[in-house]
Amino acid sequence: MTEKDGSDDRLFPTEPSVRSIAKELYSQVKDVPLICPHGHVDPRVFADNAPFPDPAWLFIIPDHYVHRMLHSAGISHAALGLPGVDGRRGETDSRRIWRILCENWHLFRGTPSRLWLEMELSEVFDVHTPLSAATADEIFDQLTERLNEPEYLPRALFERFNIEVLATTDDATDELASHRSIADDPWPGRVIPTFRPDKVIDPERPSFHDSIRTLAEITGEDTTSYPGYLAALRQRREYFRGFGATATDHGHPSALTAELSNTEAEHLFKRIIEGDFGPQDAELFRGHMLMQMAAMSLDDGLVMQIHPGSARNHDPALFARYGPDQGADIPAPTNYVDHLKPLLNRFGNEPSFTVVVFTLDEATYSRELAPLAGYYPAMQLGPAWWFYDSPHGIRRYRELVTETAGFFNTAGFNDDTRAFASIPVRHDVARRIDCGYLAQLVAEHQLPLDEAHATAYALAYGRAKEVYRL
């Protein structure tokens, strides 16, 4: 990605000789295709290939990184036009919403949201005017114009972004209609689903029973019996595999995994289904089901992903009005050394199994995760996640992980985003930081340049492709 604002050196180390090595490394990876093995883009975007809506809908309303920061400064969600769970919105004028962002752009100084949005405007949308109250309308107009041009349609961008494969994240009960539509279309873009069964596995979700019932309907299995429930899950995994899925994803409160006997599991499941359980039962059931998911992965080859450690919906007022995933999920301490032990003891040495583990608790990078990933063949460490998908966040990840686990127990980059148009700049930031880290190793005489090149390529492309079996 070439920049027009003279900032070709963006995010590279500042010492000139190191920066020069970083640029040399980066020059060889900046244009390699994007592997997007984990993300949250709606597949309808590609099925429909409709123009993106206006700037407020593109950059603010669905982006919890953005509206949480504005909220932290006292700007209400209503003023930002967030749709409530009842479908109602406060502000509905997208231009006014966009102005709020521009007027408060100083809040984002030093954050990746700012970095991404500025890079995106410049490099994707060819808009080079700095954001401010004064320029808000001008930029709004420029963007609106672009969004209606054919080269800004989703599929055109997919191709321009040089995306080799993009995985979405889909409920276990999703019929994958958009994926079917994409598959039936001559358009060659590779968009694949990811099997995310949280709603049918976590009994503490309000929708659990409904989801279980839907699962029964679409599989024809009796999901109120434990064997039927497992069979239904197996069937759905196979269904996802039919659409090209190579991975599952599990977002649990903790990383707990648990080994139950079949009898214990049956009893627990019965109580879960009957609603006769407490928080510890729910936790145990989730832990047990991670083991079952791993066992199924051994059979069907789906790569397992575990995303633990977020205390979801910290603000009940937000949850009540706007629902989940609106910026009030807060990381909590996470234990991997004890919690993953059952799973790793049973499956961690299996050659055909891969589990990618993520964290929001940076204290575990060097203490637990790198030592575990640096020992168990099945375990790969996912990239710096969520709040840590940022220049310092990625640097810390490499600094805390590499010396114990090397580069080849890490899973490459995930953009993990709903915001399709931000994908190339997110990858670009990671590539720049990784090249900077490698340049430092070269400059400190820890690594020769040719091996740094090979590693940069692995981190930008090869690791994600290999780990996710893409």
178 residue type, one letter: S
Shortest Cβ 184–a copy of itself spacing (Å): 38
If one asks whether residue 115 binds a copy of itself (CB under 8 A), the answer comes out as yes
When computed from its CA atoms, the radius of gyration of the chain, rounded to whole angstroms, is 22
Shortest Cβ 393–a copy of itself spacing (Å): 6
Shortest Cβ 341–a copy of itself spacing (Å): 6
Give the integer Cα–Cα distance in Å for 64 and 121.
Answer: 19
Shortest Cβ 67–a copy of itself spacing (Å): 10
Give the integer Cα–Cα distance in Å for 46 and 420.
Answer: 10
The CB density around residue 455, as the number of other CB atoms within 10 Å, is: 24
166 strand-pairing partners: 36, 191
If one asks whether residue 69 binds a copy of itself (CB under 8 A), the answer comes out as yes
CB of 231 or CB of 337, closer to a copy of itself: 337
If one asks whether residue 349 binds a copy of itself (CB under 8 A), the answer comes out as yes
Shortest Cβ 132–a copy of itself spacing (Å): 10
For tokens 């990605």, what's the residue?
1
CB of 245 or CB of 384, closer to a copy of itself: 384
The two tokens of residue 232 are 């239904």
Q: How many CA atoms lie within 13 A of 200 on its CB side?
A: 29
If one asks whether residue 4 binds a copy of itself (CB under 8 A), the answer comes out as no
Answer for the pair 247, 468: CB distance below 8 angstroms, yes or no: yes
Q: What's the residue count for the chain?
A: 470
If one asks whether residue 90 binds a copy of itself (CB under 8 A), the answer comes out as no
Shortest Cβ 432–a copy of itself spacing (Å): 9
Give the integer Cα–Cα distance in Å for 403 and 143.
Answer: 44
CB of 187 or CB of 457, closer to a copy of itself: 457
Query: Taking CA 298 as the corner, what is the angle to CA 293 and CA 300, rounded to the nearest 5 degrees?
Result: 85
SS3 163: strand
Residues 272-311 contacting a copy of itself, CB under 8 A? 311
b/e per residue, 141-175, with b = 16+ CB within 10 A? ebbbebbeeeebbbbebbeebebbbbbbbbbbbbe
CB of 12 or CB of 243, closer to a copy of itself: 12
CB of 232 or CB of 438, closer to a copy of itself: 438
Q: How many CA atoms lie within 13 A of 339 on its CB side?
A: 21
The two tokens of residue 12 are 């590279």
Shortest Cβ 83–a copy of itself spacing (Å): 19
131 residue type, one letter: L
If one asks whether residue 172 binds a copy of itself (CB under 8 A), the answer comes out as no
Judged by CB under 8 A, the number of residues near a copy of itself is 92
Shortest Cβ 404–a copy of itself spacing (Å): 5
Residues 204-243 contacting a copy of itself, CB under 8 A? none
Shortest Cβ 397–a copy of itself spacing (Å): 11
The two tokens of residue 447 are 């690594």
Residues 366-405 contacting a copy of itself, CB under 8 A? 366-368, 370-377, 379, 387-388, 390-393, 396, 398-400, 402-405
CB of 16 or CB of 188, closer to a copy of itself: 16
If one asks whether residue 409 binds a copy of itself (CB under 8 A), the answer comes out as yes
Answer for the pair 236, 230: CB distance below 8 angstroms, yes or no: no
If one asks whether residue 351 binds a copy of itself (CB under 8 A), the answer comes out as yes
If one asks whether residue 423 binds a copy of itself (CB under 8 A), the answer comes out as no
If one asks whether residue 15 binds a copy of itself (CB under 8 A), the answer comes out as yes
